[in-house]
Amino acid sequence: MELFLLGAGFNADAKSETGIVLGNSCYHGTYSIDCGYPLIAETARLCFDLAEAPQDKSIEDLFAEALERHNFKPMDNLSEQLMEADYRLATRLCTAGRNCYKDFFEKFVDAHFLTFNYDSLPEIFLHRLNRWYPQDGYGVPVEAEPSFGFDDIIQQRSSSLVLHLHGSLCVLTTESELEPIPGKRTEWIIRHRQPKYGFDPDSISGCFPKYRRVMWATGQVRIPDRVVAPVPDKAEGLQSPFIHAAYDKACHQVSVSGSLIAVGYSFNPHDRVSYGPILKALTESHDRKLIIVSPTAGDVAKTFRGEYPHLRIEPITKTMKVWAVDSFRL
């Protein structure tokens, strides 16, 4: 059983593998839809209207400064772009002909996945392969509402887990609920003993046609509030109930597996608070093997061999697409 850690670079080839995405307007006719999973330079343009990433600070710093000013627009823009990419790209890739993502998920049939990404690309593929369902596939119990005529799907169980270590745009969390008082217009706020999680794919509901959105009496939760904002100090966000539960499950999976294959993850020093617990669990496992698939894998391996002397580190200096051409050779 393979265990993967997915970073932003895992999605980098999705746009080129999909090709041109066309829309149709009654006013302008056929036009090209600009959608994709953004990397750093694209995020700077999309969220901050910058031609390129700044030289004197990181993108994370820009998000932190925006949130300190209670400016949620950058996070809104990022989440909208990711859900657009899920809807436009992931759905086409999993139903089209051969591509590196379809080959990947069909090759590693017994794998589990840890991810720092907010998007649902892995779930969309795995759900089509009947290997992932929202009620248990996130590693914690999640309430899911079947669409009309698909009640039996709630009984299905996932063979592959997708653990979102920074949260998912499709999972909302509530620690309380409104309960009406009989005979009155007032409602009590009832606090749950344990947090409740709900599957709400929002604008990408078409990616999971057998499910509908979960709506609770507490009302709709803003999409960007479901994830850890990409800011330099993520420690506070990592304590949110869903993310804390995902980390517990992830560290257990790492301990059981003994090896971890990181694909498209840069191991940025800014993210040490995020990946530190995962690598700590790996160093305490039996095999203690880390495989890094990334264009910068050699540099990361060189640094980590000094920081984690007990890990056996193997770099594969390739992008996702090039690794696929090499038949995902490890």
**Contact in structure between 90 and 10 (CB atoms under 8 Å):** no
pLDDT < 50: residue spans in the chain: none
**Contact in structure between 33 and 55 (CB atoms under 8 Å):** no
pTM of the model: 0.91
Reported as half-sphere exposure (CB side, CA atoms, 13 A), residue 198 has a value of: 21
Percent of the chain surpassing pLDDT 70: 95
Q: How far apart are CA 312 and CA 298, in angstroms?
A: 13
pLDDT at site 139: 97
pLDDT at site 221: 63
The encoded tokens of residue 198 equal 């709900």
Number of H helices, E strands in the chain: 12, 12
Helix (H) or strand (E) holding 176: strand 171-180
Q: What is the DSSP string of 258-303?
A: -EEEEES----GGGHHHHHHHHHHHHTSSS-EEEEESTTHHHHHHH
Reported as half-sphere exposure (CB side, CA atoms, 13 A), residue 230 has a value of: 20
pLDDT at site 231: 85
Q: Which tens digit of pLDDT belongs to each residue from 213-254?
A: 887 766 556 777 788 888 888 888 888 899 999 999 999 999
pLDDT at site 176: 62
Nearest C-alpha neighbor of 98 from the set 325, 330, 329, 326 = 325
Cα-Cα end-to-end distance for the chain: 14
